[in-house]
Amino acid sequence: MSTFAQLGLSPPILEALDDVGYQQPSPIQEQAIPHLLQGLDVIGQAQTGSGKTAAFGLPLIAYVDPAEHEVQGLVLTPTRELCIQVTQALRSYATRKGVDVVAVFGGAPIRSQQAQLRAGGHIVVGTVGRVKDLISRHSLMLHSCRFVVLDEADEMLDLGFLEDVERILALTPSSRQTALFSATMPPEIRRLADQYLYNPVLVRVEAATLTVDTVEQFGLQVAAKDKVSALVEVLEAERPRQAIVFCRTKVRCDQLYRTLRDRGMNVKALHGDMTQGARDGVMIGFKDGRTPLLVATDVAARGLDISTVSHVINFDVPGSPDVYVHRIGRTGRVGRSGRAITFYESRQQRDVEAIEAHSGVKLAPWVKGAHVAATEVRPRPRRHSKPHDADRAGAAPPLAKLVIAGGRADGVEPKDVVHALTSATGLDGEAVRNVLVLERFTFAEVPRADAGRVLEAASGAQLRGRPLRLELVRG
C-alpha cells in the first residue's frame, strides 16, 4: 500500500493529514488521488465509508490557489447532512494551506451564506437547491470554478436533482476538471457522466472489497408478526455499541421507533418527513454517541458517516442489492469491523439470494449467543438513566471533559483544539471528541485514561498563537 506522500500530495496537505491522524490511504484514495492530481476527470464508484471525501478533497485542495479570491472548486451534495460532513472534512484538510471552504445549504439563513461568499470562499460545498438559488441571486459566480465534484450522484438521482445538476454544470467552464462519485451506477448516472465528463478514468472499489473483509453478514428468517420481538432479541444478544435499524418506509420507521421507545430503549427515528431542525438534532445526538440506536429510512441515512456504528440491522429487506451494499457500508468503516443482520420472510428468499449473488457473500444464519459485541443497547427504565461503567464493560473508553481557556471571541474553532491537543500529545484525531466552542472558553473530551497525560503534555502548547491553558472538569 502507498503512503499519502507517495501519492504526490504537497507538504501542507500531508501535515494536515498528520494533524487529523490519517496514516495510510484507503483503496479509493490510493486509486483516485493520482489521477485527479494529473488533472484527469474521474468516476469513482464507492460507498460511503470508503474514504471518498478525502479521495476528491485532497486533490481539490492541492489544486486551489489561496491567493485567488474566487470560487475555484464546487462540491455538490444531495443532502444538508452530507454537505456539513464534507465541509468539516475539507476544512480539516485545508487548514495548513489557508484554503477557505464555505458551506451553503437549505434550512439556514441565506443572507449569512451570501455574506460568507462575499467575504471569500475558494471552495463551495453545497446542496443542489441552495446552490441553484444563490446562482439565481448572483451571489455565487462559477466562471472561475475549474474543479467540480458530484458527491453521492445516485442519491441526487433518487431525489430528482439531476436536471438541476445539469443546469449548474452548464454554468461552469467547459475546461473544468470533474469528479463524479456514486455508490451505484444506474443508467441515468452513466448518461450524466458520458455527457459532462471528458474521457474519465473509472476508479471502482467493489462492494465485496468494502464489505466482506470488514462486515460479518447474517440473515434471520422471521414471520412478519414476530419481527419486533426478534429485533429486541437480536439487540439484547448483540449488544451493539451503536446500531442503525433500516426500514423501507417513513410510516414503518415511525411505528418501529415508537414501539422500541415504549419498551424503554434509548432510540431515535430519522426520516424525510421530519423537520430539518428535528433531523439535525437526531444526527448530532447519534454522532456524539448519546443515542445508541437509530431507526432510519434509506434516504434519510445517506450521508451518515460515523465510525462507531458497530451494527446494521435490516428490519426490512432492502429494495435492491445495491441498497443492501449501501446500508451495510454504514458499519465496518475503514480499519474497523462490523456486523450486519438482515430480517427476511420466507417469501423473500429470492431477494436474499439476489443480495448474496451481488455481494458475493452467503448470509450466515444468525444464531443467538454465537457472538457478544462490545456494548449493549438494552431496554432501559423510562428515565433513561445512564448506565454504570460496569454495565459497559468492553465499550469505548470512558471520557474525561476538559475546559480550555479561549473561545469564539478569540477566533478558536474546533479544528484548532483538535490540532493543539493531538500535536502536543500524539493522540489520534478521533480521540478528541465533543468539542464545543463557546464565547470565552471551550469544552473537549478525551479518553479518561489519557486525561492526565493530556493535561501535562498540552499545557503551554499553542492554540491560535497563545499558550494553551486547560484543566479537568471535575464530577
144-158, 255-269, 433-447: least confidently modelled range: 433-447
What is the C-alpha to C-alpha distance for residues 329 and 420, in angstroms, rounded to an integer? 32
CA angle 184, 358, 48 (to 5 degrees): 40
5-205 CATH pick, 3.30.450.40, 2.60.40.10, 3.30.1490.20, 3.40.50.300: 3.40.50.300
Do 399-472 and 5-205 have the same topology in CATH?
A: no
Q: What is the residue-wise DSSP string for 139-200?
A: ----TT--EEEE-SHHHHHHTT-HHHHHHHHHTS-TT-EEEEEES---HHHHHHHHHHSSSP
- Ranked by mean pLDDT, the top range of 239-248, 273-282, 399-408, 414-423 is 239-248
Strands (DSSP E) along 223-379, which ranges? 243-246, 267-270, 293-296, 311-314, 338-344, 364-365
Q: Which residue type, as a one-letter code, is found at position 138?
A: H
CATH 1.20.200.10: does it fit domain 209-390? no
More confident residue, 385 or 85: 85
Domain positions in the chain are 5-205, 209-390, 399-472
pLDDT in tens, 377-425: 434 336 333 333 333 333 446 888 888 888 877 888 777 788 788 777 7
Q: For residue 111, what are the CA distances in angstroms to 27, 30, 203, 249, 300? A: 40, 39, 38, 35, 26
26-30, 47-51, 100-104, 240-244: least confidently modelled range: 47-51
Residue 20: which pLDDT band, with cuts at 50, 70 and 90?
Answer: confident
Q: Give mean pLDDT, residues 91-110.
A: 89
pLDDT at 377: 41
For the purposes of burial, counting CB atoms within 10 Å of the CB of 332, is it exposed (0-12), middle (13-18) or buried (19 or more)?
buried
Q: Give mean pLDDT, residues 144-157.
A: 90
CATH homologous superfamily for 399-472? RRM (RNA recognition motif) domain (3.30.70.330)
Q: For residue 366, what are the CA distances in angstroms to 52, 221, 331, 375? A: 31, 9, 17, 18
User: Do 331 and 311 meet the contact criterion of CB atoms below 8 Å apart?
Assistant: yes
What is the C-alpha to C-alpha distance for residues 452 and 405, in angstroms, rounded to an integer? 18
pLDDT in tens, 318-330: 877 777 877 887 7
% of the chain residues with pLDDT over 90 = 36
For the purposes of burial, counting CB atoms within 10 Å of the CB of 372, is it exposed (0-12), middle (13-18) or buried (19 or more)?
exposed
Computed from CA positions of residues 17, 22, 23, 29, in that sequence, does the dihedral angle turn out positive or negative? negative
**Could you tell me which residues come within 8 angstroms of residue 121 by beta carbon, excluding any fewer than 6 positions away?**
71, 100, 101, 102
Long-range contacts of 433-438 (CB under 8 A, 24+ apart): 433/288, 433/289, 433/399, 434/288, 434/399, 437/407, 437/408, 437/412, 437/413, 438/407, 438/408
Computed from CA positions of residues 446, 449, 453, 455, in that sequence, does the dihedral angle turn out positive or negative? positive
For the purposes of burial, counting CB atoms within 10 Å of the CB of 72, is it exposed (0-12), middle (13-18) or buried (19 or more)?
buried
User: Do 389 and 447 meet the contact criterion of CB atoms below 8 Å apart?
Assistant: no
Residue whose entry in the numeric block shows the C-alpha cell 461503567:
389
pLDDT at 103: 94
Residue whose entry in the numeric block shows the C-alpha cell 473530551:
445
Across the chain, mean pLDDT equals: 83
Computed from CA positions of residues 93, 96, 99, 100, in that sequence, does the dihedral angle turn out positive or negative? positive
pLDDT at 354: 83
pLDDT at 301: 59
**pTM for this structure?**
0.53
